[in-house]
Structure 1
Amino acid sequence: MTSQPIRLLLVDDHKIVLESLSLLLSTDSGFEIVGMVSSGKQALQFLKENEVDILITDLKMPGMTGIELCLKARKEFPSLKILILTMVDDPVQIREAIAAGTTGYILKNADRAELCFAISTLGSGKKFFSEHVVFGLADTLKQDRGSEIPDKISKLTTRELEVLHLIAREFSTSEIATKLFISLPTAESHRRDLIQKLGVKGTVGLVLYAVKHHIV
């Protein structure tokens, strides 16, 4: 049985960007461009009338910013995946986008392979933040909080440190289980324990924590 292509809505206030993105992504049979609009308002209207899996939007747009669009879209369409595609690499705005509910963040200087991988990752139910974005956030955290190693790390077991290291290197739970010769439920249990012990929110939080404290 052939899987259905991922339905994409493209949002950018520059027509040439929309056309270029459409041409770029249309070459992948796993994607279907169901709409192209130039504003957040148009995007929300389109979402009310059409089935969309992933919304790909710029961050800086007149009238309604990408963050404002994200907040409104997530409220009205909770299952919608949102990928921010922008030139903005400011950590403060990236944090705001994450807080608004975006499920992915990638810069416009990314190549086609990374963009397609990001879309496919979101389509599979996971989140994607480019390496540049993650490391940029981690550097900011270092500056904000200093470089001291908290007691939380010293309380992790050797196995938990191994799992954290692999998570930071973007290994999936199943890949971690295989590499460490443990069961899938055990690997997932370690992931949950790490989130609780380190006081972070989800996998992105674990990655940022690992990068900040040089566990990668």
Structure 2
Amino acid sequence: MNPIRVVLIEDDIDWLNIMETIIGNEDDIVLVGCGTTKEEAINLSKALDHIDIFLVDINLTDNNLDGIYTALELKSSGDWKVLMLTSMSDEDIIQKSFIAGATDYILKKDVHKIPHIIRSIYHEPSNPVEVILQDYRRMKSEEQLKDLTNAEREVYKLIEQGHSRRDIQKKLMKSDNTLKNQIKNILKKMSVSNSKEAIRKVKSGGLW
């Protein structure tokens, strides 16, 4: 059986060494890459042929959300699992990790349990908890559109699908002025500056 291929993203060198040792002692788990920043995580995801699980510290570069944003970008570009590593049990931070797409999290004080959790999420890819998390992420994304009218939602969905303003005018048979006003209202209600920010906010469940 092929070993479980793991990439570790951790900015604390001491913890990096500890986890390298723990994972290195396992016959069925192999550490195929290490990084310390979000950018390095993204680069590794593109450079390595096969990755099963990313193990990501929530507190990269002293910013509580850096690891969460890393998970968000990783999940938007691949189907690998993301296991969050944290020294905090802050409910809000953990909740945001799940919104970003994390499959599970582990406290650093329980670091010896990492191999067990890695095996668990690798061998049970469709467990009930993951299904619940997927529904929760969809709910958080939908929540970003709650203030839009049905007509505005229709416009937003076409924008999200990549249609140009001219295409949307033709599809929905709207005048240029009407469409401009609806897009303006969408951006205002979502508290964003442009369509790209609106899409990113919805896809991230409000994290961005």
Aligned CA distance change for structure 1 residues 27 and 202 (closer, same or farther; 3 Å): same
Aligned equivalent of 1:201, options 127, 132, 135: 132
- Is the 2:4–2:122 Cα contact (8 Å) retained in structure 1? yes
Other structure's SS at 1:9 match: strand
Question: Please, what is the CA RMSD of the aligned residues?
Answer: 2.4
Hey, what does 2:40 align to over in structure 1?
A: 42
Aligned equivalent of 1:25, options 8, 23, 26: 23
Counterpart of 2:107, as a letter, is L
- Is the 1:11–1:39 Cα contact (8 Å) retained in structure 2? yes
Q: Which has the higher helix share?
A: 2
Q: Pick the structure with greater CA Rg.
A: 2
Q: Which runs of 4+ in 1 moved over 3 A?
A: 202-205
Task: Note the residue ranges of structure 1 that are not aligned, 5 or more in a row.
Answer: 128-171, 173-190, 192-199, 206-216
Hey, what does 2:177 align to over in structure 1?
A: none
Task: Note the residue ranges of structure 2 that are not aligned, 5 or more in a row.
Answer: 137-208
Hey, what does 1:124 align to over in structure 2?
A: 123
Hey, what does 1:15 align to over in structure 2?
A: 13
Counterpart of 1:125, as a letter, is E
Q: TM-score, normalised by structure 2?
A: 0.58
- Is the 2:98–2:133 Cα contact (8 Å) retained in structure 1? no
Deviation at 1:202, TM superposition (A): 5.6
Q: Deviation string for 1:45-70 (max 9, x for gaps)?
A: 01101021100010011277111001
1:116-195 alignment runs, 5 A limit: 116-126=115-125
- Is the 2:72–2:100 Cα contact (8 Å) retained in structure 1? yes
Deviation at 1:100, TM superposition (A): 0.8
Deviation at 1:29, TM superposition (A): 0.4
Other structure's SS at 1:8 match: strand
The answer to whether structure 1 residue 107 and structure 2 residue 97 are counterparts is no
Distance (Å, rounded) in 2 between the aligned partners of 1:59 and 1:18: 13
Aligned CA distance change for structure 1 residues 202 and 57 (closer, same or farther; 3 Å): closer
1:73-88 alignment runs, 5 A limit: 73-77=74-78, 79-88=79-88
Aligned CA distance change for structure 1 residues 202 and 73 (closer, same or farther; 3 Å): closer
Q: Figure out how many residues of one structure are paired with residues of the other and give that number.
A: 131
